[in-house]
Amino acid sequence: MTVGIFITGTDTNVGKTVVSAGLALVLRDRGVRVGVMKPVATGCYGRDERLISQDAAFLMEAAQNERPPLASPARFRNPLSPNVAALLEKKEVDVPFILKSYRQLQKHYDFLIVEGIGGLMVPLKKDYYVANLIRDMGLPIVIVSHAGLGAINHTLLTADAAIIRGLEVRGIIFNRVSVANYSLAEITNPKVIHDLSGIPVLGSLPEVEGLHRENCQFGRLKEVFRERIQVDKILGPNAASFQRI
């Protein structure tokens, strides 16, 4: 069975896509057959059944994947919660189809990186949340957060929601940290969050030079990710299987 990780966040726009792409680039550099998936995406562009998720396109470029229907099975035009977007667009979030796509991807790759939408409690449909999808996929998670003011509350709430639902939390990554003129919150929050939750802090990412998601340009993301993130702790017990080939 292919192993993998689910990248979730404390909110929308905290950097899940950048973290997912960075991990894909590093694993590809090790010679790993890495697959990516954005199961549900809103705010897509294009027409009708040809809607394109910019996040999914960025991830597929990072991993050099060529199975877009499987990697991005549920796409909606409106930039809203998936359950609301589906209602407005007279569609549905077809969970069995998403899980079928996930199982198909497992056949083609050694390791899968699945990026969520928003946070754990984003509703995909009535009584079914992102957290339910993670549990049905059977994946551990990494939480992506900002490091500034408010991070303690948002991160602990996300961790608590995960633990209550029986999800395995591999660690926390802080994104868009300052490289100079740190705020006091940015300096102290990661340690406070670790001390209160017991969850490992796997590293932090600054703004990456040359990174442009809209043009699928990665700049120095691979190098920065490799230097600043504890990749083997993301991989967990499977780390030894994914060393450089």
Q: Which residue is listed with tokens 């689910």? A: 6
* 38 catalytic per annotation: yes
Just give the CATH number of 6-240: 3.40.50.300
> Which DSSP string do the residues of 76-121 spell out, in sequence order?
-SSSS-HHHHHHHTT----HHHHHHHHHHHHTT-SEEEEE-SSSTT
The predicted pLDDT at position 47 comes to 81
pLDDT tens, per residue, the chain with 245 residues: 569 999 999 999 999 999 999 999 999 999 999 999 999 999 999 987 789 999 999 999 999 998 888 999 999 999 999 999 999 999 999 999 999 999 999 999 999 999 999 999 999 999 999 999 999 999 999 999 999 999 999 999 999 999 999 999 999 999 999 888 889 999 999 999 999 999 999 999 999 999 999 899 999 999 999 999 999 999 999 888 887 65
Among 38, 90, 126, 233, the active-site one is 38
- Per DSSP, what are the bridge partners of residue 24? none
**pLDDT tens digits along 13-42:** 999 999 999 999 999 999 999 999 999 999
> What pLDDT is stored for residue 179 in this prediction?
84
Asked if residues 229 and 205 have their Cβ atoms less than 8 Å apart, the reply is: yes
pTM for the structure as a whole: 0.96
Main-chain dihedrals φ then ψ at residue 76, nearest 5 degrees: -135, 145
Rounded Cα–Cα distance for residues 24 and 173 (Å): 15
Judge whether 208 and 192 are in contact, CB under 8 Å: no
Please classify residue 92 by burial: count the beta carbons closer than 10 Å to its beta carbon, then call 0-12 exposed, 13-18 middle and 19+ buried.
Answer: middle
